[in-house]
A and B are shown apart, each in its own frame.
Chain A
Amino acid sequence: MNWWANVADPQPRIGILVFPGSNCDRDCAYVVEQVMGATADVIWHKASSLPPLDAIIIPGGFSYGDYLRTGAIARFSPIMAAVTRFAEAGGLVLGICNGFQILLEAGLLPGAMLRNRSLSFICRDVHVRVENTATPFTGRCAPGQVLTLPIAHAEGNYYTDPGTLSSLKAGNQVIFRYCTTDGQTTTEATPNGSLDGIAGITNATGNVLGLMPHPERSAEALLGNEDGRLILRSLLDSILSGRYAPKPVLAS
């Protein structure tokens, strides 16, 4: 447990950010409590500091209506400065869909999102291959395992410059790639035109993950697919291991 953990409340606490226009915040809170057995702490974007947390989820949605550019306005919300400090201190941050886009705009992850190749919103199940299991988000996956996860986005076409792509690859920071059912990465298997089939990446230190597919939508047998649990349970394992507790920092 974290150095600041409340002894009376041994459950991990996961913060879920809510921006105006977030719409997967309630879904994430539901899986945090029902699937991970953790406490969900809903955090309003106007807050300037974070309560004690074991991890942060930035949920999907249309923060600020996706006006201007996805995630471009949310990065200026007061809470993002605290999130940046949390990430820099080694805290675990998971950005899903719009959350990934916000992490890119905030500079916590490299690269940018373009509109999907089809120019349309796409909502359907896709397959992704787990490229790196030595991360705090994929410990329960087997190397090269193919997961079925749903996507729902209009801007998931990941792009970055060749230098950054090389360094992502060199650092094993590409965590998920779109693939066929049998794990082949092909152009057709990439639903949105994403560079190198990228579906999810981490930062260099590995504690911040952004991905376009929605693990929280595929975590219950009743909904027909539980592959998302692997990611959520891996995150829980990492929290419980204590290895990813944010380092104490002096109040700024």
Chain B
Amino acid sequence: MTESAAPPATARELRLEIEEFNSDYAAVLDSCRIEEWPRFFMEDAVYRITGRENWDAGLPVGLVYCEGMAMFRDRALAIAKTTMFAPRYLLHQLSNVRVLSIERSGEIVAQANYALFETLVDERTTLQQVGRYHDRFLRHAGRLLLKERHCVYDSLIIDTALVFPV
């Protein structure tokens, strides 16, 4: 056995902690402070956004694919400093946090659902995508950090461009 279900009280506390983590994470992205986004991850973390068709078929591609802190910083730098896109507001709505298991290594396996709304100048608000985070957290210096976040979206067709991480 490498993992076990957490006792109910622990799981409940963890769920609250993850909900708070996710709310802070969303607040950073929703205010377009993308250069702060890497701080939610471990040094050797993996982050990926991929369609559910890829996830279900075990295909590894990512719309965004980051391996390690240097790539998180480069993604943030590129979007903040070099990439051209129309101004927009983004709003994440997160729900259904579930703690699936806690591994012997201390890794916490969790999920949450997300909806990402996008508003462009002169346009109605649209649903940019809906999906699920497949997460692995580790506790580092007393606080949770992501070791893995796979954002798996159901909405297979992206409308034009997905500018910011999810």
- Do A and B interact? no
